[in-house]
Amino acid sequence: MEKIKRPAQAQAVGSTIQYGKSKTEIPANSTYVCETATPYVMGHTNPERRRLALQASILRPFTERLLREAGIAWGMHVLDIGCGVGDVSMLAAGLVGRNGSVTSVDVDPGALETLRQRAAAEGIANIACVQTDVCAFLPGRLFDAVVGRHILIHTSDPLAVLKHCRDLLQPRGLAAFQEYDFQLIPPSYPSTPLRDCVFAIMNGCFAKAVHANIGSRLFRLFTEAGFAHPDCRVEFPVEGGPDSPCHELLAETLRTILPRARVLNVPGAADIDIDTLEQRLREEATITGAGLPGSMMFSCFARRL
Residue window 143-172: x/- pattern of binding to ligand SAM, with contact defined by CB under 6 A: ------xxx--xx-----------------
Residue window 40-79: x/- pattern of binding to ligand SAM, with contact defined by CB under 6 A: x---x-------x---x-----------------------
Contact 162, 146 (CB under 8 A): no
Q: Check residue 284 for interaction with ligand SAM (CB under 6 A).
A: no
Residue window 90-119: x/- pattern of binding to ligand SAM, with contact defined by CB under 6 A: ---------------xxxx--x--------
Residue 22 CA to residue 10 CA, distance in Å, equals 10
Burial of 20 per CB tally in 10 Å (0-12, 13-18, 19+): exposed
Q: How far is the CB of 287 from ligand SAM (least distance, A)?
A: 31
Name the CA radius of gyration of the chain, rounded. 19
Residue type (1 letter), 167: D
Q: How far is the CB of 279 from ligand SAM (least distance, A)?
A: 25
**Based on CB atoms, which residue is closest to ligand SAM, 244 or 253?**
253
Instruction: Give, to the nearest 10 degrees, the angle between helix 246-263 and helix 193-209.
Output: 50
- The CB-side HSE value for 163 (13 A sphere, CA atoms) comes to 7
Q: How far is the CB of 185 from ligand SAM (least distance, A)?
A: 19
Q: Which of 10, 17, 26, 38 binds ligand SAM (CB under 6 A)?
A: 38
Q: How far is the CB of 71 from ligand SAM (least distance, A)?
A: 19
**Based on CB atoms, which residue is closest to ligand SAM, 54 or 201?**
54
Q: How far is the CB of 149 from ligand SAM (least distance, A)?
A: 3
Residue 64 CA to residue 247 CA, distance in Å, equals 23
Q: How far is the CB of 36 from ligand SAM (least distance, A)?
A: 8
Residue 36 CA to residue 2 CA, distance in Å, equals 38
**Based on CB atoms, which residue is closest to ligand SAM, 103 or 192?**
103
- Nearest CA among 132, 70, 135 for reference residue 103: 132
User: End-to-end distance of the chain based on CA atoms, in angstroms?
Assistant: 30
Q: Which of 58, 134, 146, 261 binds ligand SAM (CB under 6 A)?
A: 134
Q: How far is the CB of 46 from ligand SAM (least distance, A)?
A: 12
Burial of 29 per CB tally in 10 Å (0-12, 13-18, 19+): exposed
Q: Check residue 127 for interaction with ligand SAM (CB under 6 A).
A: no
With CB atoms as reference, the residue minimizing the distance to ligand SAM is 84
Give the E-state strand segments of the chain in sequence order. 10-13, 16-19, 22-25, 77-81, 101-106, 127-131, 143-149, 169-181, 227-235, 238-239, 292-293, 296-304
**Based on CB atoms, which residue is closest to ligand SAM, 57 or 288?**
57
Residue 287 CA to residue 303 CA, distance in Å, equals 47
Binding interface with ligand SAM (CB under 6 A)? 38, 40, 44, 52, 56, 82-84, 87-88, 105-108, 111, 133-134, 149-151, 154-155
